[in-house]
Chain A
């Protein structure tokens, strides 16, 4: 990718973040934003910027970056353009964890933790199922195992919600549709470390993923341990997605859509694709969260619903181009 395109990606993210902090129920000026960030002036704009908007916008950006990068790496490693991080059973597992926690009336703060644990269990289960069927490094087998684990998870959710009261069901559904409304600085810090390490690791796999595209035999001939690289990308991608899930619930379509967009924009090597997908994913989720906040006041739309609403027409247009 050319230098100007990278500049454009960073610029888009910068504008999205500034717009995300400025626009909301209380419209803030650029001066309010600056005052809020440096912490001088009226207490109310400072509180809005520092406690409500900045953590929220940054968390959205991190979630988008993680999902975009994980999606790009998984699509590359599986050589399947429909692969996305949630397909490895993560969405189902995370939802089971969160829904069980909600149904059992655990403190709200523990719901994301339960979601994270659920996602990890599901990923482990997916890899075990794939291994038991003899296809450890086989992309198709792993994806199918993920689908099976996801279906199982769905049934567990339905059982758990069968007798739950209305508010608990609404809470669980809300969580499953994703949201960064309750973002805190602690979440931002933890996820930042998580996403930085994850994206770094995926970019390190970039060269190997490029070689995998030549076919397993050729890649093996060039000295690449195909099974190890595939497994490595799965595990890192899954951890990354699970981290985002614990912070914001399930934000669909980003991991699927964004890699296509950046390839279409001209990214060729996987280092570039993964990096660009992280940036574009971040911008997309920040914009989606902004829409979620201002579209239907005083209610808020679920973030995952907005990303899907934006993503589906995009994806249809893309399909037409591919066909």
Chain B
């Protein structure tokens, strides 16, 4: 008994020593990261996982596991280099001919490796950390990014430009998209901003939240998301709260619109009673891709039918 306790104490002391060492190492890493930020080097970029991307070895075989980044790669002319995509990729049309490697979240690493990639682009969430680690261990470069906001589109496009060695094409893509976005923003600034509810799912009721690029897109296109103060991208909300916030407009798909118009529960909403349900093209909901400018125009035309955008 005594020995066991002693051993435990010993091991806990060891643990403590390890912990101190760990803290020291961590602070070193953080300090060096800060230093790096203070003086950015031209030859290396860190992605959203904190992994380093090497510039110079222009990738020839890219697997893209986010539909948004797929569109961006095609937009900057790197389409011919794409050798793998997710099962959800439908845009642009050419991508359908590319090898489907399945789900983009918790991806199948073997399926990815079978396409012999030299760069894999994935979404930077905890679920994908393990896959990124395995791919790197197999000698494949990874670039993990959170593509949640319009600013991410510009950031990621520029990184891709540097990676493939065509920064001019990347700048052109970013400039053209952001210029359109700015033009729409300026045009809608003086227009009335109707209160909009944009449901993403009906059961449970999920809304576009403040954490989504769709919330930004609504503001640009001249509207006000009634659940904009909620920080999540797709928060769950109650029907009564929706009734309480009383939206002027509802955005949804064609099939859902037909159903909502007949549902007695939804008919308690002023917007449904007056058939102020707008059918929105679901392609703009996929993510903040290079087509964000076109999406802003599409949405603005829908929200303000009398105005020319």
A residues in contact (CB < 8 Å) with B: 24-26, 47-48, 51-52, 107-109, 111, 163, 165-167, 170-171, 174-175, 179, 181-182, 184-185, 293, 297-300
Interface positions, chain B 173-225, Cβ under 8 Å from A, are: 200-206
Determine the residue in chain A with the shortest Cβ distance to B246: A44
Contact sample, A vs B, 9 pairs, CB 8 Å cutoff: A25-B238, A25-B241, A26-B243, A48-B268, A52-B268, A107-B255, A182-B203, A293-B238, A300-B204
Question: Is B268 a contact partner of A170 (Cβ separation < 8 A)?
Answer: no
Question: Is B239 a contact partner of A108 (Cβ separation < 8 A)?
Answer: no
Bound CA span A297–B229, Å: 13
Bound CA span A247–B205, Å: 17
Bound CA span A57–B243, Å: 18
Give the Cβ gap from A228 to chain B, nearest Cβ, in Å. 40
Question: Is B236 a contact partner of A167 (Cβ separation < 8 A)?
Answer: no
Contacting A163 at CB < 8 Å: which of B102, B203, B238?
Answer: B102
Question: Is B243 a contact partner of A184 (Cβ separation < 8 A)?
Answer: no
Give the Cβ gap from A162 to chain B, nearest Cβ, in Å. 8
Bound CA span A171–B205, Å: 9
Question: Is B236 a contact partner of A300 (Cβ separation < 8 A)?
Answer: yes
B103 within 8 A of A: yes
Question: Is B200 a contact partner of A167 (Cβ separation < 8 A)?
Answer: yes
Q: What sequence of 0s and 1s flags, for each residue 217-261 of chain B, a beta carbon within 8 Å of any chain A beta carbon?
A: 000000000010010001111111101100000000001000100
Which of B204, B235, B244 gathers the greatest number of chain A CB atoms within 10 Å? Answer: B204
B307 within 8 A of A: no
B87 within 8 A of A: yes
Bound CA span A96–B165, Å: 50
Question: Is A297 a contact partner of B204 (Cβ separation < 8 A)?
Answer: no
Chain A residues with Cβ under 8 A from B240's Cβ? 24-26, 48, 52, 293
Chain B residues with Cβ under 8 A from A107's Cβ? 255, 259
Chain B interface SS verdict (over half): loop
Bound CA span A27–B201, Å: 26
Question: Is A51 a contact partner of B205 (Cβ separation < 8 A)?
Answer: no
Question: Is B203 a contact partner of A166 (Cβ separation < 8 A)?
Answer: no
Question: Is A171 a contact partner of B203 (Cβ separation < 8 A)?
Answer: yes
Bound CA span A47–B243, Å: 10
Chain A residues with Cβ under 8 A from B103's Cβ? 163
Question: Is B264 a contact partner of A181 (Cβ separation < 8 A)?
Answer: no
B105 within 8 A of A: yes
Chain A interface SS verdict (over half): loop
Contacting A170 at CB < 8 Å: which of B204, B227, B244?
Answer: B204
B residues in contact (CB < 8 Å) with A: 87-88, 102-103, 105, 200-206, 227, 230, 234-241, 243-244, 255, 259, 264-265, 267-268
Question: Is B230 a contact partner of A298 (Cβ separation < 8 A)?
Answer: yes
Given contacts A48-B240, A298-B238, A300-B236, contact A171 B265 (CB under 8 A): no
Chain A residues with Cβ under 8 A from B200's Cβ? 167
Given contacts A25-B244, A51-B265, A52-B243, contact A299 B203 (CB under 8 A): no
Chain A residues with Cβ under 8 A from B235's Cβ? 298-299
- Other than the given A52-B268, A171-B201, A298-B230, 11 more pairs (CB < 8 A) read A25-B238, A48-B243, A51-B264, A51-B268, A108-B203, A163-B103, A179-B203, A182-B203, A185-B264, A298-B235, A300-B205
Contacting A166 at CB < 8 Å: which of B105, B204, B255?
Answer: B105
Chain A residues with Cβ under 8 A from B202's Cβ? 108
Question: Is B244 a contact partner of A167 (Cβ separation < 8 A)?
Answer: no
Question: Is A170 a contact partner of B238 (Cβ separation < 8 A)?
Answer: no
Chain A residues with Cβ under 8 A from B234's Cβ? 167
Chain B residues with Cβ under 8 A from A182's Cβ? 203, 265
Question: Is B203 a contact partner of A174 (Cβ separation < 8 A)?
Answer: yes
Which of A109, A167, A300 gathers the greatest number of chain B CB atoms within 10 Å? Answer: A300
Question: Is B264 a contact partner of A299 (Cβ separation < 8 A)?
Answer: no
Given contacts A48-B240, A163-B103, A298-B237, contact A171 B204 (CB under 8 A): yes
Bound CA span A298–B244, Å: 11
Contacting B244 at CB < 8 Å: which of A26, A51, A293, A299?
Answer: A26
Contacting A299 at CB < 8 Å: which of B238, B255, B268?
Answer: B238
Chain A residues with Cβ under 8 A from B105's Cβ? 166
Chain A residues with Cβ under 8 A from B255's Cβ? 107
Give the Cβ gap from B148 to chain A, nearest Cβ, in Å. 13
Contacting B238 at CB < 8 Å: which of A47, A171, A181?
Answer: A181
| Cβ-closest 3 pairs across A and B | A298-B241, A25-B240, A47-B268
Question: Is A52 a contact partner of B230 (Cβ separation < 8 A)?
Answer: no
Give the Cβ gap from B283 to chain A, nearest Cβ, in Å. 15
Chain A residues with Cβ under 8 A from B238's Cβ? 25, 181, 293, 297-300
Give the Cβ gap from B131 to chain A, nearest Cβ, in Å. 15
Give the Cβ gap from A50 to chain B, nearest Cβ, in Å. 9
Chain B residues with Cβ under 8 A from A24's Cβ? 240
Bound CA span A261–B230, Å: 40
Give the Cβ gap from B113 to chain A, nearest Cβ, in Å. 19
Bound CA span A41–B16, Å: 70
Bound CA span A179–B227, Å: 22
Give the Cβ gap from A104 to chain B, nearest Cβ, in Å. 15
Question: Is B204 a contact partner of A174 (Cβ separation < 8 A)?
Answer: yes
Determine the residue in chain B with the shortest Cβ distance to A173: B204
Question: Is A181 a contact partner of B87 (Cβ separation < 8 A)?
Answer: no
Given contacts A181-B238, A293-B240, A297-B241, contact A163 B87 (CB under 8 A): yes
